[in-house]
Amino acid sequence: MPGQAARLYPGVYSINSSNYIQIVRKGQRFCMADVSRNEKTFASLRPDRKHPSLYQVNGLLGKAVYQQDGNTIFWGPVNQMAREAAIVNGSKPTCLFPVICNAVLALISRF
């Protein structure tokens, strides 16, 4: 359907052995956590009105999430997203770290 936001699949996506993206859904709202060895970033996501296949990352200007299929997401600056390809872990867990899941769900509750 034109103008409808692309589907986003909650789960844990591995960029490399020490960097993960976690997408969490509560109702119609989505948040993400970008977790690496040295840094954790939490943000809510909103559909991009101009580009229905993208979700804008609130608070991180120019960054977006794109779900290619049920197993692959791209995230980062829109013009460099291909370099940030992430493949879902084999078992497709929905929560990598319970503390992070709880923090992301708490974030969703505030929006």
CA distance 85 to 13: 9
pLDDT digits (tens, 9 = 90+) for 30-71: 888 888 888 888 888 999 888 888 999 998 888 999 888 878
The pTM (predicted TM-score) of the whole model is 0.74
CA distance 84 to 36: 13
Nearest to 26 by CA among 80, 83, 101: 101
